[in-house]
Amino acid sequence: MKKPLVDKYGRVHDYLRVSLIEKCNLRCRYCMPENPDWTPKEELCTTQELLQLMDLFISMGVSKVRLTGGEPLVRKDFDVILKHLAKKEVELSMTTNGLLIDRHISLLKDNGLRKINVSLDTLIPGRFEMITRRTGFETVMRNIRHLVDEDFRVKVNVVIMRGMNDDELTDFIEWTRNLPLTVRFIEFMPFDGNRWDDEKMVSLAEMKERISERFEIMKLEDGPNDTTKHYRVPGFVGKFGIISSMTEHFCGSCNRIRLLANGSIKNCLFSTNETDLLTLIRKGEDPEPVIRSVIWKKKPSHAGRFNIAKQENRSMVTIGG
């Protein structure tokens, strides 16, 4: 095993989030611009290039790999990638919109991927079509139930947007009364093309206040690298959490690296800088020194930006969930 990936603040980076593909079969308004600028195919990683990069990160101490997109299950070689990773000593997880999950249940189980985050921003069918600009609500709901029945560890990610779905906070929590899943409310974050403004953002403090008007809530213990502040309603089977990237960040314990579908890495979700690894491996050069340098230079929080709402960044769909 090589020396682990450490930045100048002593944070060990052992969690790799890999965007397998930029494309998605939904068109969520907060994630994808109306006219997305897709990367040309020849500038994206082939299967072998992607596996080569992931293997390198694993050799440098990455112990957890999350597969994201776009929608990762849209990638035609998803099975090849998963079977390759299943042979490694890493914890596997995935973020998906849930539309195609039923076609892959056996593949996921056979290869040890039992942790699934499903993005779902509403429990109202008509609102689902308005947010995603597509149909499929009943399919997603059915597939979430299928995952739970098959004993997957299921988290449901909900981006809360004022005037859009903030009136459903307690409805999502009611969902955890009898279902052993975790609902995670995410503060609305600024990305290219999602028309962010601070009036649409509902803070952790406001969410807790509004939830407490209906439910008694108890704080749960969080893990050392958790991005989520966890809570439970006493007597409920499931739990809920809040990801407060905007108002109460968790940068001090960050252990995450993002590998994009084009073979670039971002050392922070909010970084405007990306480092091209794909060109290096296509030239036959070793990207390891470059990776170590990028991680070492990571800023203490939010890519060193004072105001992350006033900066250019990729669209969320091309970064990965």
Specify the CATH number for the domain of residue 102.
3.20.20.70
Quick check: is 209 in a domain? yes
- What pLDDT is attached to residue 317? 55
Instruction: For residue 315, tell me if it sits in a domain.
Output: no
Q: Is the peptide bond before 235 cis (omega within 30 degrees of 0)?
A: no
For residue 138, pLDDT over 80 is answered with yes
| 317 within a domain of the structure (yes/no) | no
DSSP 72-111: GGGSTTHHHHHHHHHTSS-EEEEEE-SSSGGGSHHHHHHT
Query: In the chain, what is the straight-line distance between the N-terminal and C-terminal CA atoms, in Å?
Result: 28
Residue pair 278/49 in contact by the 8 Å Cβ criterion: yes
Full residue range of the structural domain in which residue 220 is found: 18-269+276-307
Which tokens go with 276? 């091209």
* pLDDT for residue 295 is more than 70: yes
Mean pLDDT of 92-102: 97
Task: Say yes or no to pLDDT of 304 above 50.
Answer: no
Q: Which of 227, 87, 218 is nearest to 157 (CA)?
A: 227
What percent of the chain has pLDDT above 90? 76
CA 198-204-207 angle, 5° bins:
95
pLDDT bucket at 1, cuts 50 / 70 / 90? low
The CA distance from 19 to 21, in Å, is 6
Arithmetic mean of pLDDT, 55-77: 96
pLDDT at residue 194 in the model: 44
pTM: 0.92
Q: Is residue 95 part of a domain?
A: yes
Alpha-carbon distances of 259 from 81, 221, 291, 308, rounded to whole Å: 14, 29, 11, 21
pLDDT average, residue stretch 168-188 = 96
The percentage of the chain sitting over the pLDDT mark of 70, rounded to a whole number, equals: 91
151 assigned to some structural domain: yes
Q: What is the pLDDT of residues 2-51, one digit of tens each?
A: 899 999 999 999 999 999 999 999 888 777 777 777 899 999 999 999 99
Name the pLDDT band for 311 (thresholds 50, 70, 90): low
Task: Decide if 1 is inside a domain.
Answer: no
CB–CB of 137/128 below 8 Å?
A: yes
DSSP tag of 196: -
Q: Tell me if 2 is assigned to some domain.
A: no
Binning pLDDT at 50, 70 and 90, where does residue 200 land? confident
Helix, strand or coil for residue 250?
A: coil
Q: Is the pLDDT of residue 97 over 80?
A: yes
Residue 303 banded pLDDT, cuts 50, 70, 90: low
Domain count, the chain: 1
The set of residues, in sequence order, having a beta carbon less than 8 Å from that of 199 and lying 6+ positions away, is 162
Q: Residue 315: what pLDDT?
A: 52
> 58 lies in a domain?
yes
